[in-house]
Structure 1
Amino acid sequence: MRSEFVVNPGPRAVRYRGRPQSHRCGINTAAWFDVGTVEIRYANGTMNYVEILNTVELYLRFVAAIGADRKLSRDPYSLAIELEAPVKGYPAPIPLPRWYQERTWLDEAMIPALTTLANELVPDGEIHHVLPVADGILLAIENNEGKLSKYVVQPPAEGWKLIRKTL
């Protein structure tokens, strides 16, 4: 993404084609173009005051360094040193929650089967997420401008049947 952004700065450079939600976890730079923010999304949150302050400080220093086009280490300890942020006192890593793993598995299993239908419903769109619902499968598709359209489909024995478009 960084190389693409250097060549062609703009929102399309930071959108990861083929798996749009992957630009929405970790450090989401695509949000800069969507809403003017940089979003930090990690599942190992904490209520410990010191850990919260250390994490916020690290993120602010990281975003400022990226904005200044600094080259930074990938090693967490070295990164903290380079940013003059605390080197310890952060929330401990936690394993992925089972529900998140299962949702990812569902996406990975369903996306290849739904890609043709998704392209018919939203030309040049990408599947954003797939979720089971009472009357079928919710298929959310993101267009090139980031607008999300949601449909409920049903997997019959042959082909897919569109049940309804949701708001």
Structure 2
Amino acid sequence: MWPRDIDWRSLRFGVEIEFVGIAPEAVERLDGWSVDPRERMRALDGSYGGGEIKSPPVDWSQRGQIETMMARIETAGASVNWSCGFHVHVGLEPWGVDALPALLDAALTTQTALRELFQTPSHRLIFCPPVTRAQRDAWLAAPCEDALCHVGRPQGHRSGINLAAWYEFGTVELRFANGTLDADRAQRSVELALRWVAAVGRGAALPGEREALVAALEVAAEGYPPPHPEPVWHAREEQLSALMIPILQPQITAEVPDAEILWVRPTPEGLYVKTDSGDRCNHRFWFEPHAQGFRLLRFEKA
């Protein structure tokens, strides 16, 4: 039922803590906390490692679990860098699917202000692109998960305000916060997410300017996880991918019709292209340049 005035402290939420430096399985976890074995971050040398630890659904009175787990993760030798995020899922139990139209409208209005509050750097926006008016209109016309997902590079399927999470978890996920092992900054991020959802749930018309949104939600204007500088080599990789995707996509589609390019990277074996075909079905391709463009050397299922 929407609207409905609910104390933000009573809302159930979960967090996802991303980090580098250690395998997440090495961390002693509280009851109900889990590892997502599919998630890997990138270290400063370009290698993949680290991962993600997820909380069970908790409420504000149980937020101390975040501090405990962050301390354990850091003690085990982990850290956060430019590739890490801190995600907050907020349960929509008090309202159900009835709240989604209002959440979509609030996302369109406030997502820029939220990005500014969370200081989301440009290199992380591929993992949290904006909700679009076309998505809103598509969902209202035919409500389904696909209407709330982006097409194109699969890293960007989930918006910064990820309402597709309703279909998998019964939540809305806020993905803007940068990676952190600082419990105070993490809890401040959780509070902002909870207050935002509660305000939308009671039918508040939220402003789109950062200072006005801070006042309307009665949240801190600063003190959220700061951004970490992107390595120059990663920026160059992203530039290469952006340049090569439209060039290589037709050849890849000819081999695997539903494949979408995740990334393009130079290797001693040639240009390495990793793709996603849905349900985490990945293929790997290698190309070499020649006079007429790029020749496909080989491809395989990952």
If the length of structure 1 is used for normalisation, what is the TM-score? 0.73
Matched to 1:59, the amino acid is A
Question: How far apart are residue 134 of structure 1 and its match?
Answer: 4.1
- Pairing 1:156–2:289 present: yes
- CA-based RMSD of the aligned residues comes to 3.2
Tell me, what secondary structure is at the counterpart of 2:289? coil
Which structure 2 residues correspond to residues 17-166 of structure 1 after superposition, within 5 A? 17-24=151-158, 26-33=160-167, 35-36=168-169, 38-42=172-176, 44-63=178-197, 72-93=206-227, 96-143=230-277, 145-157=278-290, 158=292, 159-166=294-301
2 CA distance for matches of 1:155 and 1:99?
21
Check 1:68–1:114 CA distance in 2 against 1; reply closer, same or farther (3 A cut). Answer: farther
Tell me, what secondary structure is at the counterpart of 2:190? helix
2 CA distance for matches of 1:134 and 1:70?
56
1 CA distance for matches of 2:252 and 2:203?
37
Q: Work out the percentage of aligned pairs sharing the same amino acid.
A: 35
Check 1:29–1:85 CA distance in 2 against 1; reply closer, same or farther (3 A cut). Answer: same
Check 1:84–1:147 CA distance in 2 against 1; reply closer, same or farther (3 A cut). Answer: same
Question: How far apart are residue 115 of structure 1 and its match?
Answer: 1.3
* Partner deviation per Cα, 1:75-125 (whole Å, 9 max, x = no partner): 233333333433332234555443442232121111011110121122244
Matched to 2:254, the amino acid is E
* 8 A Cα contact 1:152 1:164, kept in partner: yes
* 8 A Cα contact 2:185 2:223, kept in partner: yes
Q: How many residues align?
A: 165
Matched to 1:130, the amino acid is V
Report the structure number with the largest CA radius of gyration: 2
Matched to 1:165, the amino acid is E
Question: How far apart are residue 150 of structure 1 and its match?
Answer: 1.8
* Partner deviation per Cα, 1:115-159 (whole Å, 9 max, x = no partner): 10121122244222223344233323333x444322222223044
Tell me, what secondary structure is at the counterpart of 1:85? coil
Gaps of 5+ in 1: none
Question: How far apart are residue 14 of structure 1 and its match?
Answer: 2.2
2 CA distance for matches of 1:67 and 1:103?
41
Tell me, what secondary structure is at the counterpart of 1:91? coil
* 8 A Cα contact 1:111 1:127, kept in partner: yes
* 8 A Cα contact 1:154 1:160, kept in partner: yes
2 CA distance for matches of 1:90 and 1:151?
38
If the length of structure 2 is used for normalisation, what is the TM-score? 0.45
